[in-house]
Amino acid sequence: MMVDALTDNRNRTSAAIRHLFSKGGGNLGETNSVGWMFERKGVMTVNSGSKDPEDVGLAAIEAGADDVQVEGKSVEIATSPNAFEKVKAALETLGVTVDSAEITMQPKQTVAVGEDKAAAVLRLVESLEEDDDVQQVYANFDIPSDVLERAAAQV
């Protein structure tokens, strides 16, 4: 996991985050110790509406998108941070609805989490997100959807 925090008191925040990790069964690493596991990417989800989703994907790629995933009328687009605004503008010019658009940290690879640890991982993420100084929590775990449903009911 990688945690982005914004604080006026670094010592207080690091102690609070360290406590949450140890309480959740983890450890707080040094600054940027897991940064190499993540890559900054722009991610957009658009509804193609009356347009052909394949054409929307092609327009995104022509504007500089790195990857496009089409599922029904929904198109998920990944871009470099530098191409993010250009791709978003091209989609808006095309007349499609951008449902969500953000620059985030995507994991380069994921780690499978079994049912025995899924609830604990979700509790840890939830407790980190509830901290006032935490802006964003990024994680590289992969929990199958059926396990996720059961684990979420336990949290």
Segment 97-146, tens digit of pLDDT: 899 999 999 999 999 998 899 999 999 999 999 999 999 999 999 998 88
CB 80 within 8 A of CB 64: yes
**Among the listed residues 28, 153, 44, 63, the one whose alpha carbon sits nearest the alpha carbon of residue 106:** 44
State which H helix or E strand residue 74 sits in: strand 74-79
Q: Which two tokens stand for residue 25?
A: 């069964």
Going from the N-terminus, what domains does the chain have, and what CATH number goes with each? 2-33+109-154 (3.30.70.980), 37-107 (3.30.70.980)
Please tell me the pTM assigned to this model: 0.81
